[in-house]
Chain A
Amino acid sequence: MSEARLFKPRFNPAKPIFNIVVFLLYLFLLAPLIIVFVVSFASNQYLSFPPEGFTLKWYQALPSETIFVEGMKVSLIVAVFVTVVVLAIGVPAALALQRFEFKSKAAMEAFFLSPLLTPSIVLALGMVLLFGPLNLNNTYTGIIIGHVAITIPFVIRTTIMSLATADTSCEDAARILGAGPWTVFRRVTLPIIRPGVIAGGVIAFIVSFDEAVISLFVAESGLPTLPVQVLRYVENSADAAVAALSVILILISLAVVVVVERVMGLRKALN
């Protein structure tokens, strides 16, 4: 009898308190998403909380909102091109920064990572002023250049992380076995750093798809992206269609992350 008591874990008052704190933290982080989710099914005439009834009409209305459909098209085209371009620039840049020694290395590294540290409103303003004379405002090229600039630090970071943990003697082995520089890259380096490259690409896609500030400055009038359209919509009308749209966007992001995680192990790539 006394034995059983001996092995009973002592009650630790810190534990339930810790659990409550964690729960509140999650609630705080997820609250906006939960509210948007609830509101998207609410029959309130205006965007407000709490809901007065259940309806699917906001979802049914989405396909007929041409500005959303148009915005979605622009955003998808931009995000796809941004992902391709940013990988084409970012991966070689990361390779150079990680594998080679050269004079201006520190400066180059700072340059490629600097967009992370600059407020995007500053970047956006600069781009509008620069793109004006180049006739790039309100063009796909303009938006894509802007988005590449802000997504390149992510790609470089994730790729450098993969490169840093990869064994360089694999590349040496391939070279000794007769592979030229391009073959080494294509058949050995790239497959080894693939998780980092894919993680960088996914982040770039999501960041570009989600980006509002630069798109707003550079192409509001001529080529509005989906976030710009949402912004405009909320300015003019206050119904819950944007909430329904938001839920769909959340599901798309979630789907991308889940698929990549299943196929590649995104968590592994991001660590």
Chain B
Amino acid sequence: MTESKLSIVDLTKKYAAGLAPAVDRLNMEVEEGHLVALLGPSGCGKTTTLRMVAGLMDPTAGSIMVDGREITQEPVNKRGMGMVFQSYALFPHMNVEQNVAFGLQMRQVPKAEQKARVAEALDMVQLGHLGKRATKALSGGQQQRIALARALVVEPTLLLLDEPLSNLDAKLRDTMRTEIRSIQQRTRATTLFVTHDQDEALDMADRIAVMNGGLIEQFGSPIDVYERPRTHFVANFIGQANFLTITVGEDVGPASAAGERNYKIEVPGLGHFGAVGASGLTGRSLPVLIRPHRLRASLQPSASVQELKGTVEQVSYTGDTLSIAVRVGDEVLQSQLHTTSGSLPHTGDTAFLSWDPEHAYILPEHAKAVAA
């Protein structure tokens, strides 16, 4: 399959003068064969971006390039892309084979070749036996796989997926997630994937673009955006997060990650702890991020480690894990424990919270006021 590189430069979409732009000078580079997730809450501009790349919507400004060739002005039917929609968008009056063959007919591929390629595409999504069926008679998962086959059979320059899994039930969603990812890796189709589901993005993507208010807040690998979020919004949107506002103290040497330093930090009024962050933060007041499952909670104080002492306010048992909310001064911190650990805390217990310095990450900037 053809591999293509996508570049987006200063892409902007304004629906009406006076309104805040839906997409605001967005820049992004997608490498060949990568699957990039556009992740964000509804209204963040991710679908608008996808529709502009597809050519279904004209940008107000900026340009879109595939393999260095500008396609911003190219009409949608000349772009040679493939797209899968949330609603599947199969043609209801055609059977499965006719649906898949549509793009090949538009390209005037000879009949015999059409037939072979349709069969191959249907085999790829394991639906080779359903070619003559009416699409209405199929389940949601089957319909979405046919939509995928229809998009891939034309060997698109780019594969665009617009929330392809959100109409499926939870179990099927997991199966389809794995299947789409493996087909994408096999075909090496450069893919743009719109989703509001952080798990989907972390699981499937090579790179994640976290979008908020028409802007990309962070563009990076799943590990990057989870472990080293650049903003409060990213930390909060991807995974669960505890924030403590701290004062950064003395730099005590290089951390294990390149370019990062170990710091002593002071939680005002509660003691001194350790954390990691970018260089040159000493003296600043910044939020520190600790993921709930990395915040240890125990019922006995430890002699060797500095701890935060608090009261268990809420306990939520979900089988594999136990989530507790611990009040420490004015803050409420979430901690996740494995249910294998001996004695489980109850509401009202005194808990002692601690963490390893490398699990506390000092965000490089202050929380912006984020609209709820």
Contact = CB atoms under 8 A, between A and B. Distances in A.
A192 interface: yes
A174 B91 contact: yes
A3 interface: no
A270 B9 CA distance: 48
B89 A170 contact: yes
B87 A178 contact: no
Contact of B103 (A169, A177, A191): A177
Interface in B62-76: 76
26 contacts: A169-B87, A170-B89, A172-B54, A172-B56, A172-B85, A173-B85, A173-B90, A173-B91, A174-B91, A174-B102, A175-B55, A175-B77, A176-B55, A176-B79, A176-B82, A176-B83, A177-B77, A177-B102, A177-B150, A178-B80, A178-B106, A178-B107, A179-B77, A179-B102, A191-B91, A191-B93
Given A172-B54, A173-B83, A192-B92, 11 more contacts: A167-B89, A169-B85, A170-B90, A172-B83, A173-B85, A176-B76, A176-B160, A179-B102, A188-B91, A192-B91, A192-B93
A84 B353 CA distance: 79
Contact of B77 (A169, A176, A187, A188): A176
Nearest to A166: B92
Tell me which of A173, A174, A179, A187 has the highest count of chain B C-beta atoms within 10 A of its own C-beta.
Answer: A173
Contacts of A32: none
A177 B83 CA distance: 8
A82 to B, nearest CB: 27
Contacts of B103: 177-178
Taking residues whose C-beta sits less than 8 angstroms from the other chain, chain A's interface range is 10 to 19
B326 interface: no
A133 interface: no
Contacts of B91: 170, 173-174, 188, 191-192
A106 B79 CA distance: 34
A53 interface: no
A265 to B, nearest CB: 14
Interface of B: 54-56, 76-83, 85-87, 89-93, 102-103, 106-107, 147, 150, 154, 160
A185 B22 CA distance: 30
Contacts of A180: 77
A174 to B, nearest CB: 7
Interface string A232-243: 000000000000
A170 B83 contact: no
Nearest to A176: B83
Contacts of A177: 77, 82, 102-103, 106, 150, 154
Nearest to B78: A178
A191 to B, nearest CB: 4
A183 interface: yes
Contacts of A192: 91-93
A72 to B, nearest CB: 36
A254 B90 CA distance: 35
A169 B106 contact: no
A170 B154 contact: no
A182 to B, nearest CB: 11
A192 B106 CA distance: 19
B56 A176 contact: yes
A188 B99 CA distance: 11
A51 B82 CA distance: 72
Contacts of A175: 55-56, 76-77
B54 to A, nearest CB: 6
B102 to A, nearest CB: 5
Nearest to A170: B89
Contacts of A188: 91
Contacts of B56: 172, 175-176
A126 B293 CA distance: 81
A176 B54 contact: yes
Nearest to B92: A192
A188 B93 CA distance: 8
B87 A167 contact: yes
A110 B314 CA distance: 61
A172 B89 contact: yes
Tell me which of A172, A175, A176, A191 has the highest count of chain B C-beta atoms within 10 A of its own C-beta.
Answer: A176
A180 B77 CA distance: 6
Contact of A183 (B83, B106, B160): B106
Interface string A146-167: 0000000000000000000001
Contacts of A167: 87, 89
A176 B81 contact: yes
Contacts of B89: 167, 169-170, 172-173
Closest 6 CB pairs of A and B: A178-B106, A177-B103, A169-B89, A191-B93, A173-B89, A169-B85
A178 B92 CA distance: 18
Nearest to B81: A176
